[in-house]
Copies of this chain bind each other. A is one copy, B any other.
Amino acid sequence: VNAEVITVGTELLLGQILDTNSLYLSRKLAEIGVNLYYKTSVGDNTGRLKAALEIAAGRADIIVITGGLGPTVDDITRDGIAEYTGRKLLPDNETMLKLEHFFKARRIKMSENNRVQAYIPEGATVIENRAGTAPGFIIEQKGKVIAAMPGVPSEMRPMMENAVIPFLLQKYGIGKNVIRSRSLKVVGLPESLVDEKIHDLFVVSENPSIGVYAHQTEIEVRLTAKAENTESADAMIEGLKQKVYGRIGDAVYGEEEETLEGKIAEILLAGKMTVSTAESCTAGLLSFRLTNIAGSSAYFMGGINAYSNEVKKSMLGVPEHIIEKYGAVSAECAEAMAKMSREKFKTDCAVSVTGIAGPGGGTDEKPVGLVYMGIDIKGSVKTSRHLFTGSRDMVRARAGHTALFNFYKLLKN
């Protein structure tokens, strides 16, 4: 059984609102094992909605439509579906009474166009809207199901969960075919290398399947399985996951909603260790991220954002000769920054970052994107050299993320 989602509204085509409804509907349909092959957005135009319905009916069994059911002139979904299915619009008595009651209770005069909301294509099943005025409806025609709901998310979601999903489960006996997925979060390997290392585990359209997605600061490897029930799907994912860990486990720091700062927090708390920072090009990002965690005051003491060389010397105490001999962007400076931070803040660990975020300031020898990091854990310091690509924002975000990843790896071992 496969479905198509149609979201209706000119505001979607003018880029005035983000289409979160289709995201929600996609997820809900996947959860009950309905395949979604296409999503379409169409404006407030009856002819174009009819054309979209025609195309959708040619390639899907179930059409889920949101938006365009309100009382105004540009709410054209009701008419579009009536015309497409060749049905009359008739008033639904129960809905009409509810509407009249709604306006009476608020002492607002009910205008004629408000009545329009109670009109439903002949033979359709009404879906009650408990959070608003416009009801939804379900039509069965020529072996296809059309479910229409309002576009306001707080109205649409309960209607989907309480009426449309139960209807689909009953009609198709689906739910026997669930889709589960799990994301692994990867740092330190480029997308192409991740792909190469797990390439043979990929087989397009196979089940379970693997997707590799590049985000700004990390790579996501998403494992997806389709099975008769949750347990089987989870077992399939687990098996594949172990193989993926076998290939790239060193570069995976967590799964799903786990964060680097959260993983670091666990280790620091368990070991009763404290941390401080010394940041040049990231200028506070590490410190801000380490304190994203509630309760971080147990391990995070503080940090110095030493942006100018003067501040690196005066506030952090980096020896002048290091900056003179090697420059502020050097392994030697990163090492001194980490050491001095650990000393000044009296912490067990310290993380330092110094680099050239750009767009200016690069040279042939030290190009934009060059970043050194230092990690001092109880007096043992490790430095690393990185060359990040992208804009100033990206270099800074990637440097911060990689520093946390390096810190996590050293803490773990």
Contacts and interface: CB of A to CB of B under 8 A. Distances in A.
A302 B202 CA distance: 48
A39 B13 contact: yes
B27 A14 contact: yes
A291 B300 contact: no
A391 interface: yes
Oligomeric state, in copies: 2
A270 interface: no
Interface in A177-210: 179, 181, 190-193, 195-196, 199, 202, 204-205
A294 B42 contact: no
A18 B23 contact: yes
Interface in A1-54: 10-20, 22-30, 36-45, 48, 51-52
Nearest to A99: B192
Given A71-B191, A302-B305, A360-B294, A196 B111 contact: yes
A49 to B, nearest CB: 10
A82 interface: no
Contacts of A113: 192, 195-196, 199
A306 interface: yes
A235 interface: no
A199 B73 CA distance: 9
Q: When A and B form their complex, which 6 residue pairs have the shortest distance between CB atoms, in order from nearest?
A: A284-B284, A15-B27, A15-B26, A284-B287, A302-B311, A284-B288
